[in-house]
Chains A and B, each alone.
Chain A
Amino acid sequence: MKIEVDYKRCEGHGLCEDQAPDVFELDDEGDLIYQFEGQDVPAEHQTAAARGAAACPVAALRVVQ
Chain B
Amino acid sequence: MTTTETAPTYSGDIYTDAALLEPYEDYRALRELSPAVWLEKHGAYAVARYDEARAVLMDSDTFRSANGIALNEPANEAILGCTLASDGELHAHLRQVVAHRLTPRALRPMKDLVRERADELVAELVERKSFDAVADLARALPLSIVPDFIGWPQEGREHLLRWAGANFDSFGPMNERAQRAMPQCGEMAAFGAEVVRTGNVLPGSLGAGVLEARDKGEVTTEQTMMLMLDYLAPSLDTTISAVGSAIWLFSQHPDQWDLLREDPSLIPNAVNEIVRIESPIRAFGRLANVDTEIGGVPVPAGSRVLVIYASANRDERKFERPDEFDVTRRDAVHQLGFGLGDHGCAGQGLARMETESLLHALAQRVTRFHVGETERALNNLIRAFGTVQVTVDTED
Q: How many inter-chain residue pairs (CB < 8 Å) link A and B?
A: 45
A10-65 at interface with B (beta carbon < 8 Å): 11-15, 18-19, 26, 29-31, 54-55, 57-59
B348 within 8 A of A: yes
- A11-B99, A13-B348, A13-B349 known; A57 and B108 CB under 8 Å? no
Across the interface, do A30 and B334 meet the contact criterion of CB distance under 8 Å? no
Across the interface, do B333 and A31 meet the contact criterion of CB distance under 8 Å? no
Instruction: Chain B residues near A29: list those with CB within 8 A.
Output: 105
Compute how far the CA of A15 lies from the CA of B349 in the bound complex, rounded to whole angstroms.
10
Across the interface, do B334 and A55 meet the contact criterion of CB distance under 8 Å? yes
Across the interface, do B104 and A59 meet the contact criterion of CB distance under 8 Å? no
Across the interface, do B58 and A54 meet the contact criterion of CB distance under 8 Å? no
Binding site secondary structure of chain A: loop
List the one stretch of B120-128, B159-167, B227-235, B337-345 in contact with chain A.
B337-345
Instruction: Chain B residues near A13: list those with CB within 8 A.
Output: 103-104, 348-349
Across the interface, do A30 and B338 meet the contact criterion of CB distance under 8 Å? no
Compute how far the CA of A63 lies from the CA of B348 in the bound complex, rounded to whole angstroms.
23
B268 within 8 A of A: yes
Instruction: Chain B residues near A55: list those with CB within 8 A.
Output: 333-334
Across the interface, do A11 and B268 meet the contact criterion of CB distance under 8 Å? no
Instruction: Chain A residues near B105: list those with CB within 8 A.
Output: 11-12, 26, 29-31
Instruction: Chain B residues near A12: list those with CB within 8 A.
Output: 103-105
Across the two chains, which residue of chain A brings its CB closest to B340? A59
Interface residue count for A (Cβ, 8 Å)?
16
B99 CB to closest chain A CB, in angstroms? 7
Across the two chains, which residue of chain B brings its CB closest to A11? B103
Across the interface, do A57 and B334 meet the contact criterion of CB distance under 8 Å? no
Across the interface, do B344 and A59 meet the contact criterion of CB distance under 8 Å? yes
Instruction: Chain A residues near B342: list those with CB within 8 A.
Output: 58-59
- A15-B333, A18-B268 known; A57 and B104 CB under 8 Å? no
Compute how far the CA of A26 lies from the CA of B104 in the bound complex, rounded to whole angstroms.
11
Across the interface, do A58 and B334 meet the contact criterion of CB distance under 8 Å? no
Compute how far the CA of A30 lies from the CA of B158 in the bound complex, rounded to whole angstroms.
35
Instruction: Chain A residues near B346: list those with CB within 8 A.
Output: 11
Compute how far the CA of A12 lies from the CA of B350 in the bound complex, rounded to whole angstroms.
12
Across the interface, do B104 and A11 meet the contact criterion of CB distance under 8 Å? yes
Across the interface, do A30 and B108 meet the contact criterion of CB distance under 8 Å? yes
Compute how far the CA of A54 lies from the CA of B342 in the bound complex, rounded to whole angstroms.
15
- A30-B104, A30-B108 known; A57 and B340 CB under 8 Å? yes
Compute how far the CA of A59 lies from the CA of B99 in the bound complex, rounded to whole angstroms.
15
Instruction: Chain A residues near B102: list those with CB within 8 A.
Output: 11
B332-371 at interface with A (beta carbon < 8 Å): 333-334, 338, 340-342, 344-346, 348-349
- A19-B333, A55-B333 known; A30 and B103 CB under 8 Å? yes
Across the two chains, which residue of chain B brings its CB closest to A30? B105
Binding site for B on A (CB under 8 A): 11-15, 18-19, 26, 29-31, 54-55, 57-59
Binding site for A on B (CB under 8 A): 58, 99, 102-106, 108, 268, 333-334, 338, 340-342, 344-346, 348-349
Q: 26 pairs across A/B with beta carbons < 8 Å?
A: A11-B99, A11-B102, A11-B103, A11-B104, A13-B103, A13-B104, A13-B348, A13-B349, A14-B104, A15-B333, A18-B333, A19-B333, A26-B105, A29-B105, A30-B103, A30-B104, A30-B105, A31-B105, A54-B333, A55-B333, A57-B344, A57-B345, A57-B348, A58-B342, A59-B340, A59-B344
Shortest 5 CB-CB contacts between residues of A and residues of B: A30-B105, A12-B105, A11-B103, A55-B333, A59-B341
New contact pairs (5) apart from A11-B99, A58-B340, A59-B344, CB-CB < 8 Å: A11-B103, A12-B103, A14-B104, A30-B108, A31-B105
